[in-house]
Amino acid sequence: MVPVPFDPDTVWGTNSDHRVSGTVNGMSIRASVEPLGNGFGIVLGPAWRRDCGLAPGDAVEVVLSPEGPQRADLTDDIRTALDAEPVAGAFFDGLAQFYRQAFLRWINATKRRPDERARRIAEMIDLLGQGQKQRP
């Protein structure tokens, strides 16, 4: 377990699961920030620890950032739609980056048809509000 010295809800916004990517001593990681005692941390699994040259208690340099597109990265129309429907917005924020990016690619494929873009955004909000991770 590597401690995270801040509350991810405070720094990155409230989310049910803070998936992160980054490095530990320059080695790539992907993880979820989890409760750790009175704080938070990430778990480095056995596959990652094998051959990494680290032992429990070693000091490490950790660089983390939230995975996938975040609200601030979204276009105004999508961000506004998610803000207007808090249940859908919270569900979107908790999705793995794969699902978020799939929705955004599908919406962005309509650059020449603004009417279709608005329809797809509305459909995404409806699906997210129902707790669906992807289009059927």
Among residues 18, 47, 66, which one ends one of the domains? Answer: 66
Is the same domain home to 6 and 51?
yes
| CATH number of residue 12's parent domain | 2.40.30.100
Determine the Cα–Cα distance for residues 74 and 115; give it in Å rounded to an integer.
Answer: 18
Is the same domain home to 120 and 104?
yes
Is the same domain home to 88 and 43?
no
The answer to whether 31 and 19 are in contact (CB under 8 A) is yes
Look up the pTM and report it.
0.66
| Both structure tokens of 46 | 């056995």
Is the same domain home to 75 and 51?
no
Determine the Cα–Cα distance for residues 101 and 68; give it in Å rounded to an integer.
Answer: 7
Determine the straight-line distance between the first and last CA of the chain, rounded to whole angstroms: 38
- Kindly list the strands in the beta sheet with 2-4, ordered across the sheet, starting from the edge strand earlier in the chain: 2-4, 39-42, 27-36, 18-24, 62-66
Determine the Cα–Cα distance for residues 63 and 22; give it in Å rounded to an integer.
Answer: 5
Domain count, the chain: 2
Would you say residue 136 lies in a domain? Answer: no
Among residues 16, 38, 66, which one ends one of the domains? Answer: 66
Is the same domain home to 20 and 49?
yes
When the pLDDT of each residue in the chain is averaged and rounded to a whole number, the result is 88
Query: pLDDT by residue (tens digit) across 45-67?
Result: 888 777 788 877 888 898 988 88
Query: pLDDT by residue (tens digit) across 64-123?
Result: 888 877 777 899 999 999 999 999 998 898 888 889 999 999 999 988 888 899 999 999
Q: How many CB atoms lie within 10 A of CB 113?
A: 11
39: β partners:
36
Would you say residue 88 lies in a domain? Answer: yes
Its domain, for residue 10, covers 2-66
